[in-house]
A and B are shown apart, each in its own frame.
Chain A
Amino acid sequence: MSSFLGYYRSDGTVGARNYLLVLSATIYANSVVERVANSLYGAIPLTHHLGRTQTKSDIKMTFDILTRTALNPNVGAVLIIDHFKEDLCNLEDMTEAISVSGKPVEGVNIREAGGATSAVAEATRKGLYLIRKLSNQQREEAPVSSFLFGLNCGTSDTTSGLSSNPALGHCSDKVIAQGGRSILAEFPELMGAEDWLASKAKNNEVANKIYKRIKDFEKRILATGEDIRGSQPTGDNIAGGLSTIEEKSLGGAKKSGFSTIMDVVDLGETPPGEPGLYMMYTPGHGSESISAIAAAGAQALVFSTGGGHVISHPTMPTIKITGNSKSYEAMKDTVDLDLSGILAGEMTLEQAGDMIYREVLEVLSGKLTKSEILLESTGFAIHRVGLSV
């Protein structure tokens, strides 16, 4: 398989889904957003607790993650709900940032609509016509080279680094071999794996960037004056046999396979067009990390989880895999693939990687992940650095 069926966008990107995104400009639009989205077939609510009283750099980060999530090719049209008019996180600035893509953007300001109930009515009607139009678009054949592939792990145990992560690396290598791009993220969870990663860098400049950016994150941690044990590795990691952040990192890095690392990009930044593996400067918080990967335009992500997980991004299908049979049994409602055959000696890493690859292409073409069917949306969170002011 070297292609999938997706929705072509006017900017040339290809989506795996065709959602109407109902977007909260700030926390105070959340309830209206939920009421509107719950009234419309094919609408996805995107709510959050930010957009106000943040430091300038954090409000910019909130704005970027929200608007770039809307720019992701899985989103066909956008309906923004605003409650007043904050700096950046407001209807006008967000509309301007999203409409450059050519996708339809509409909005409702709760105050200008005459309050919460009128805003729901007005926005629901706008959403109805946007979805009617979206529903007429057909999937068309798209090459794997148009795929931006997210890689992440969470609730890792020792099976992750030995089985599901290296199998995912094999899958990522296959995507890249066909001209696609992959994103490896979670920088604090790469502390201790620098030498292995740098050995895969395209050149010395990229190798130095890998060392420097991982060190940057470590400095932020050191500046707290705290021992991160208990947070990294997390309690579930420790129960699963992971003793140190270095051990977790070395296992986590394996999901990037053997492809060349082309560059390091910032949180939510879209990697350049050249095929290959890119690293993104995200934190270890699973939802913040995968939200940044979705904001970069990834159409699907594989989440490797030794312990099992529910996490799913609202608009980027989040395929969960595990190498631990007990975790699969306990969490099979939300874990898509059981790869415990690797450690049971029943399949090779390559066979498992091929299995993930087939699943990814099927999901890109419209097969629903278990978590999508259950409307899981725990995978959206916006990273922040500073205070609420």
Chain B
Amino acid sequence: MEKKLAWVVDPQNDNVATVLADEVKEDNVLSVDLGGKTVEVKMINDIPYGHKFALKPIQKGEQIIKYGTSIGRSIKEIQPGEHVHLHNIEPLRGRGDLAQK
């Protein structure tokens, strides 16, 4: 076992990874273990501890997959290495605001 800087729960299906380090800055290149296969992803933004970045290009409206399951959808196009959070994805559950429309 060794400490990983980025954690992917379901390497087969997830399109986001979680950062497990404090100092992940724009232009850093992170090695991500995808179940035996390692990919390198260059960060587009500074990513705070515990926050997510995209592993692959994500189109607007595409599902965000973590734990092998949808955690919501993108509201704009997202590049690999880009911070994934409230500014570019949205939940689909418990949305009274959507239900009213």
Contact = CB atoms under 8 A, between A and B. Distances in A.
Contacts of A364: none
A157 B51 CA distance: 9
B84 interface: yes
Interface string B36-65: 000000000000111110000000000010
B18 interface: yes
B96 A241 contact: no
Contacts of B4: 343, 345
Interface in A222-258: 222-229, 232, 238, 240-241, 243-247, 249-251
Contacts of A218: 93-94
A227 B96 contact: yes
B1 A222 contact: no
Interface residues of A, number: 41
A216 to B, nearest CB: 12
Contacts of B51: 158, 241
Give the residue among B18, B66, B94, B97 with the most A Cβ atoms within 10 A: B94
Contacts of A228: 94-96
Contacts of A223: 96
Contacts of A157: 50
Contact of B3 (A227, A244, A345): A345
Given A240-B50, A346-B1, A247 B95 contact: no
Contacts of A345: 1-4
B1 A246 contact: no
Interface stretch (A9-17, A116-124, A188-196): A188-196
B12 interface: no
A26 B70 CA distance: 45
B85 interface: yes
A310 to B, nearest CB: 21
Contact of A224 (B1, B52, B86, B96): B96
A348 interface: yes
Contact of B18 (A196, A227, A241, A348): A241
Contacts of A134: none
A159 interface: yes
A331 interface: no
17 contacts: A158-B51, A161-B9, A193-B69, A218-B94, A225-B99, A227-B97, A227-B98, A228-B94, A238-B85, A241-B49, A243-B89, A243-B91, A245-B91, A246-B91, A246-B93, A249-B93, A345-B2
Given A250-B71, A306-B50, 11 more contacts: A188-B94, A191-B94, A195-B69, A196-B69, A229-B90, A229-B91, A243-B86, A246-B93, A250-B67, A251-B67, A326-B49
Interface of A: 157-159, 161-162, 188, 191-193, 195-196, 218, 221-229, 232, 238, 240-241, 243-247, 249-251, 306, 324, 326, 343-346, 348
